[in-house]
Structure 1
Amino acid sequence: MVNIEFNNENIEKCQCPCCPVQGASKCAYEQLEKVQKINGMPNPEEVPGIYCISGKTTCEDFNQEGMCQCSKCELWKEYNLGAEEPGGYFCARGKSRPQK
């Protein structure tokens, strides 16, 4: 089972904020603004991204028709997330877990 640590280094590697699925989300933008003002480590559910670790988004305005960019993310490559489930669209399908 893949174990990705939730830390600032991995948050910086995350490409979700650039992803077309999340890109036009007002909710994600507002979450990002709040996180940038936090002193210290935010809770995973507060971060607009890194869904491979935290699971589905709480935002309801994501463009589920947009092209997922997970395979371009350094975390996806580093942890071989293509071999895990769901392999992409973590924001809608949940965090990475072993295939059955």
Structure 2
Amino acid sequence: MEVGYNKRNLERCLCKSCPVQIDSICANERKLNMLDTLANMKEGSLMPEPANMAAIYCSIGKSTCADINTDEICQCNKCPVFSENNLSTLYYCKLGKED
């Protein structure tokens, strides 16, 4: 199933607080930019480039941040985006989106 790349999913995504990227300098910089973008985004605005995101990897594919720690526990299975889209794998930040 294709997971929508949209503001609603971005707002509800748990990646922003996931232990896998909590200590990542790269992901934290992207997260700050992303939160600022979300706060200023108007309804119907275009979504930012996926490469600048630190979230909804189940939609955009794997992270390009080399300093994420996939030895930490993934929380994808606790995410509303995960359950609403009937997803089945974890660590989308490492493995990319489902086919």
TM-score range, shorter chain: 0.7 to 0.9
Q: Distance in 2 between matches of 1:74 and 1:47?
A: 18
Q: 2:96 — aligned with what?
A: 94
* One-letter code aligned to 1:12: E
1:49 is matched with which residue: 52, 55, 59? 55
| Residue of structure 2 in register with 1:21 after alignment | 20
The answer to whether 1:81 aligns with 2:87 is yes
The count of corresponding residues between Structure 1 and Structure 2 is: 92
Is the counterpart of residue 62 in structure 1 residue 68 in structure 2? yes
Shift in Å, 1:36 = 3.4
Q: Residue 36 of structure 1 aligns with which residue?
A: 35
Q: RMSD of the alignment, in Å?
A: 1.3
Identical positions, percent: 40
Which consecutive segments of 4 or more residues in structure 1 shift more than 4 A? none
Question: How many angstroms apart in 1 are the aligned matches of 2:27 and 2:20?
Answer: 11
TM-score normalised by structure 1 residue count = 0.84
* Distance in 1 (alpha carbons) for counterparts of 2:12 and 2:56: 9
Structure 2: gaps spanning 5 or more residues: none
Give the Cα separation in 1 of the matches to 2:34 and 2:8: 15
